[in-house]
Amino acid sequence: MHMHPNLDRDKITPQQALDILIEGNERFINNVRRQHDMLQVRDELKDKQHPFASVLGCSDSRTTVELLFDQNLGDIFSVRLAGNIASREAIGSLEFSTEYLGAKIIVVMGHTNCGAVKAACDNFSGGNIGEIIRLITPAVEEEVTVNNEADRQSSNAEFVEKVCFLNVQQQIKRILRYSRIIKKLVQDGKIGLVGAVYDLASGHVMFDLENNPLKKMR
């Protein structure tokens, strides 16, 4: 990586890629950023890119992945849609980043207090936003621990948090369901696929390693 010039991007493992993201997030949390030489890197990247990680995240202006993971230009292939939804177009972008650009890990990252998740909890519909809600609704329906209909709304922070975590897993399932390319890369151990939730208050990215489809990252 441009933050890790001594590592060979073609030989890096999914676990190494994950470790780099975790280390970068720790720097972000502690407000200890590495020096980024933007001009030099910009010149190096003018003809090609070779990101080590790909992140499907939310469009929320508070969740810029390069900042959260303290990475430089060209390090992360960022796909951002409200609610971190795995639309067909988003999945195609993830396929491109892994199969053709060599990214070693895909992170599907939601975040706390997500407006799109809240809208889905309230069954919002209007304009093209409805298509986003449609892809988050399965997570709302999967959350069954909150039975009182009055509590199954965005006003219930606990309910929203639970749906947020479930939505990350739902989007991972969509990726594996609709992408034979990514599914094979994961099965062959060539890439990692992991869920995460970013806490807006603490700056901490919480990785859901227990539900990682790869199970044991290489």
Write the pLDDT tens digit of every residue in 42-86.
878 888 889 999 999 999 999 999 999 999 999 999 999 999 999
Burial class from Cβ neighbours inside 10 Å (0-12, 13-18, 19+) for residue 94 reads buried
Question: What is the torsion angle, in degrees rounded to the nearest 10, for the CA atoms of residue 139, residue 95, residue 199 and residue 137?
Answer: -20
- Residue 3: the pLDDT is 54
- pLDDT under 50 in the chain at which residues? 214, 216-218
Report how far apart, in Å, the C-alpha atoms of 59 and of each of 63, 84, 128, 146, 160 are: 7, 7, 15, 28, 18
pTM: 0.91
- What integer best gives the mean pLDDT of the chain? 91
> What is the rounded distance in angstroms from the CA atom of residue 16 to the CA atom of residue 178?
27
Q: Give all domains of the chain, ordered by start, each with its CATH number.
A: 14-208 (3.40.1050.10)
Question: What is the torsion angle, in degrees rounded to the nearest 10, for the CA atoms of residue 183, residue 187, residue 191 and residue 196?
Answer: 70
- Residue 161: the pLDDT is 96
Give the sheet arrangement for strand 205-208, strand by strand: 76-80, 53-57, 105-111, 192-198, 205-208
Question: What is the torsion angle, in degrees rounded to the nearest 10, for the CA atoms of residue 43, residue 49, residue 54 and residue 59?
Answer: 60
- Residue 154: the pLDDT is 96
Instruction: Label each residue of 99-149 as H, E or C.
Output: HHCCCCEEEEEEECCCHHHHHHHCCCCCCCHHHHHHHHHHHHHHCCCCCCH
Which residue, 195, 190, 125, is CA-closest to 166? 195
Written as one letter, the residue type at 102 is G
Report how far apart, in Å, the C-alpha atoms of 65 and of each of 59, 107, 119 are: 10, 10, 23
